[in-house]
Amino acid sequence: MLQLAPERHLHSIFQPVTEIRTMPTLPPLGASEEEWRAFAEERCEELKPHVAEFILERFTYKPRYVQQRVWRTFATVSALSTQFDIYIRMFVKPNDYWPRECLVLARIGFTKERAGHGRALVQRLVELAPTFGYRYLAIESANANASAFAERLGFSPRDNGRHWIGMVDAVQEALNR
C-alpha cells in the first residue's frame, strides 16, 4: 500500500477537522503571480486535512495507507489509492476557462462509480468554499461520465464541454435538489 511522505506526521494530518475559520483575505487582483502562488500553497496545506477526513469517512482505509501530497509547483493537493484518485488545484492562474478564485478538480476518479463519492466530495468542497475563499468550482478535461456528473450538479460547459465551471452557490443549489 502507499504511504505518506516521511516528513509529515500522521497524527497532525489525520486529526478530525473541527475548526472552521473565516475566509482568508485574498491577495489584491493586481498581486503578482508569486503572491498568488504563495497564497494558493497555504490554502492547499490547509485543505489537506479536510481531504484526508473526507477519505477516511468514505473509505475503509487507515490513515497510514492514504497517500496525500501538496505539489509546490502548481498549488495542488493530490490523494491517491487503489479506490480513488483526486487531484485538486486552487487559485489557478486565470484563463479562458476559469477565474482566479477557483478550485479546479483536475482529476476525480473512484473505483466504484455511482456510489455517491463524487457528489459527497463536491458537497464537502462547497461547504469549505467560505473557509478558503474560492467562489467557483471547475472540472478540468472532463470525459463523458464527468461531463454528465458536472451537468447534473449545475456546472456550465466551457470549450465544447471539455471543461466545466460552476459558481459555488449554483452548485449548492443543484446539490439541494
The number of residues in the chain equals 177
136-139 vs 102-110, strand pairing mode: parallel
* Contact in structure between 84 and 117 (CB atoms under 8 Å): yes
Category of 42 on φ-ψ map: left (φ > 0), alpha (ψ -120 to 50) or beta: alpha
Q: What is the pLDDT of residues 99-152, one digit of tens each?
A: 999 999 999 888 777 778 999 999 999 999 999 999 999 999 999 999 999 999
- Beta strand ranges found along 15-158 (DSSP E): 67-71, 76-80, 84-90, 102-110, 136-139, 156-158
Pairwise pLDDT comparison (143 vs 65), residue with the higher score = 143
Report the predicted TM-score, pTM, of the whole model to 2 decimal places: 0.82
- 79 grid coordinates: 490523494
pLDDT recorded at residue 8? 36
CATH topology of domain 30-176: Aminopeptidase (3.40.630)
Amino acid at 21: R
2 pLDDT exceeds 50?
no
Q: How confident is the model at residue 1 (pLDDT cuts 50, 70, 90)?
A: very low
pLDDT recorded at residue 120? 94
Q: In this structure, what DSSP letter does residue 43 have?
A: H
Q: How far is Cα 130 from Cα 158, in angstroms, rounded to an integer? A: 24
- 117 grid coordinates: 463519492
